[in-house]
A and B are shown apart, each in its own frame.
Chain A
Amino acid sequence: MSTVATTEPAITTRGTRASIRGRLQDALPKIVLAPSFVITIIFVYGFIVWTAYLSFTNSKTFPSYALTGARAYQRLWRWTFESDPPSSWYTSITNMAIFGFLYIGICLVLGLFLAILLDQKIRGESVLRPIFLYPMALSFIVTGVAWKWFLDPGLGLEQTLHHFGWTSFHFDWIKNKDFVIYTVVIAGVWQASGFVMAMFLAGLRGIDGEIMKAAQIDGASPFQLYRRIVIPLLRPIFLSAFIVLAHMAIKSYDLVVALTSGGPGGSAWLPSNFMYEYTFKRNEMAVGSASAIIMLMTISAIIVPYLYSELKEKAR
């Protein structure tokens, strides 16, 4: 995959119709892939290099190309370790840790749980399945706005329960700087857990019934059955679900904006919000680029070894 294939001279002195055709057929996949490959190289890897370069300049509103050293990184470093009270950047990365951990964790657990329940050959499964899956069809913006209204103490849940007479009920996380990030988790989990459920359900259906029967004959309880046999067999699904959820967590800029507009004093920011704000709204393109590069490096540090070990296992 490292070079773009070019067709070799098609007609040689001894060339026959058949060999041209044969060669063409061999090269066809490469020819078809080449444009998208080139586009990927330029628009993904090219822009990574460009971003990395910009992070060492003092670009403000527009990119500037004079290198000025690692000043942007120094600022991020100081904002990470030496600023008290916490800087926006520090808030962003701690939020990312909280959100990523809870969002992926709860989605996996809840999705698996729902899938196991649905897998009990219950009636009406074909109705329940789309109900759980449906939130995935909504965009994060819609999810965000709907949950914003639902969680707003003046409009949604709290107000409604007050109307019904439960006036001591109190739920203002969305307006609270310390808890606002958890409302993002709630909305995110609501959106994605059905999708994870569908993935697990497909996995469960793919497990050979013979193994289950054999285990049951051996006297395994349902709990043991799932713990010792089914869940280990679902390992590849866990990997796929993890990858999908991780990338959704990292890019969930829109959810934060629609749900919290950044939260009180910017307390719901994720690194993606930080990057966008600094690059495009605050005209500090160098700092924005540096943050993007740090995000990329962090993700690589987690995903690459994980993928590597998983793929190696599969190859064996």
Chain B
Amino acid sequence: MNKFLSSAAIAVVMMAGLSAARAADVKEVQMLHWWTSGGEAAALNVLKQDLSKEGFAWKDVPVAGGGGDAAMTALKAMVAAGTYPTASQMLGYTVLDYAQAGVMGDLTETAKKEGWDKSVPAALQKFSVYDGKWVAAPVNVHSVNWLWINKAVMDKIGGTQPKTFDELIALLDKAKAAGVIPLALGGQNWQEATMFDSIVLSTGGPEFYKKAFNDLDDESLKSDTMKKSFDNLATIIKYVDPNFSGRDWNLATAMVIKGDALVQVMGDWAKGEFVAAKKTPDTDFLCYRFPGTDGSVVYNSDMFGMFNVPDDRKAAQVALATATLSKSFQSAFNVVKGSVPARTDVPDTDFDACGKKGIADLKAANEGGTLFGSLAQGYGAPPAIANAYKDVVSKFVHGQIKTSDEAVKQLVQAIDDAR
């Protein structure tokens, strides 16, 4: 029964997509994205204005439902119908999936002219370059291994920056003793897995993270270090309030902003929430790298995948790509979004303290080879594997998997299944 419903849904979406794409205009950029919240929309406006200066109109491809899932389903239907948008917001391995299906355009010429291969970190190029051709324009780099701390609460309990995992636990204990919720977490599988990314990096170190979560090396996945990581997860999860299950990430951030909770482990999109609440780093909130992960950056990145549009629409696409990777847009957009520019040569003058730190960290990690794709965010491995991983972590957090031995066994099995 459901299959019919979803088939019908695809058909409807497909028609919506078709009608959107059919209105194609040579001087128009068709863009599929799910940046609809206030700050994000404002940041996209910068891009729209840049493009209109060059005479290109902007057209959002309508996606019912708002969330990224709905957008990706719509995109799938549009691509299946052969009517591509100029570009679409995409994440990680999705770009490669579509490139493999042969529907992505080729921006190599523009990339050469603009010197992208020098300014964009190699780790990002893994997703924006396929088979030697540039197929996507990275918009930003988010990093995942951050602690977001309420300064007032921190002062109240007399805490200092935790340098090791044990110090973090001691800090959480202090908060607990002071009657504050120590750790704000949303019990959705991607949030739990995002936190676990940091824990694994902290427990096993950069080399181990890369082997286990980027190379999916069996020995590392089975190792005692991985078991220790799950044990650490079990330790830290005890500091969450009992009502955490199913909570959205921004509600968890709000708990820290309001001072109900001390700390959230989350990617730097959380900073967007702090900024939107008119908070400033170092006076209202603190940003530290997750203890034990200093010097490494676990990233994800938003990209604009560029589709293989007919020649007469190429000019608009090139203009979009050029504007996306221009230093002015990269700076303006990322100041609002909380992330850092996708090229390492953008000046950090407009960024706040956390942004400046993020930019410096990215640069250092890029040069030191410690820039790793986040498995939880779909940059470590293809989606099937990432989801299998999220399942196991979530089941461990919610007690369906009881011991770390069992968790490791399940993780290996689940990843093997999804390969």
Contact = CB atoms under 8 A, between A and B. Distances in A.
Nearest to A280: B73
Contacts of A279: 6
A260 B245 CA distance: 9
Nearest to A61: B97
B393 to A, nearest CB: 9
B400 A43 contact: no
Task: Give 7 closest A-B pairs by Cβ, nearest first.
Answer: A265-B398, A264-B398, A292-B3, A264-B245, A154-B243, A175-B245, A265-B394
Interface string B5-16: 111100100000
A299 B400 contact: no
B229 interface: no
Contacts of B76: 61-62, 280
Given A172-B243, A175-B187, 16 more contacts: A43-B7, A62-B76, A62-B80, A75-B417, A261-B188, A264-B398, A265-B394, A265-B395, A265-B399, A266-B189, A276-B6, A282-B383, A283-B383, A284-B384, A284-B418, A292-B2
| Residue from B6, B188, B394 whose CB has the most chain A CB atoms within 10 Å | B6
A85 interface: yes
B1 A250 contact: yes
Interface string A151-194: 01110000000000000000010110100000000000000000
Interface string B338-379: 000000000000000000000000000000000000000000
Nearest to B8: A43
A86 interface: yes
Contacts of A153: 242-243
B69 interface: yes
B410 interface: yes
Interface in A31-58: 43-44, 47-48, 51
Contacts of A277: 387
Contacts of A261: 188, 246
B303 interface: no
Given A85-B395, A153-B243, A265 B400 contact: yes
Interface in B1-52: 1-8, 11
Interface in A71-104: 75, 85-86, 88
Contacts of A266: 189, 391, 394-395
B2 A283 contact: no
Nearest to B188: A261
A282 B382 CA distance: 9
B406 interface: yes
A232 to B, nearest CB: 30
Nearest to A172: B242
A276 B2 CA distance: 9
A260 B246 CA distance: 7
A283 B76 CA distance: 11
Interface of B: 1-8, 11, 69, 72-73, 76, 80, 94, 97, 101, 187-189, 242-246, 382-384, 387, 391, 394-395, 397-402, 406, 410, 417-418
A281 interface: yes
A201 to B, nearest CB: 28
| Residue from B189, B243, B382, B418 whose CB has the most chain A CB atoms within 10 Å | B243
Nearest to B10: A280
| Residue from B2, B243, B400 whose CB has the most chain A CB atoms within 10 Å | B2
A218 B417 CA distance: 69
A272 B3 CA distance: 9
A138 B347 CA distance: 53
B1 A177 contact: no
8 contacts: A43-B8, A153-B242, A250-B1, A251-B1, A253-B2, A265-B391, A266-B189, A277-B387
A60 interface: yes
B2 A272 contact: yes
Nearest to B248: A261
B26 to A, nearest CB: 28
Contacts of B383: 61, 281-283
A275 interface: yes
A267 B397 CA distance: 12
Contacts of A292: 2-3
B316 to A, nearest CB: 26
A47 B387 contact: no
A283 B3 contact: no
A51 B394 contact: no
Contacts of A250: 1-2
Contacts of A264: 187, 245-246, 394, 397-398
Interface string A246-263: 010011010000001101
A88 B80 CA distance: 29
| Residue from B4, B8, B187 whose CB has the most chain A CB atoms within 10 Å | B4
A263 B245 CA distance: 8
A133 interface: no
B2 A275 contact: yes
A296 B188 contact: no
| Residue from B3, B189, B397 whose CB has the most chain A CB atoms within 10 Å | B3
Nearest to A46: B7
| Residue from A86, A175, A251 whose CB has the most chain B CB atoms within 10 Å | A175
Contact of A267 (B73, B398, B410): B398
Nearest to B385: A282
B80 to A, nearest CB: 7
B407 to A, nearest CB: 10
A281 B69 contact: yes
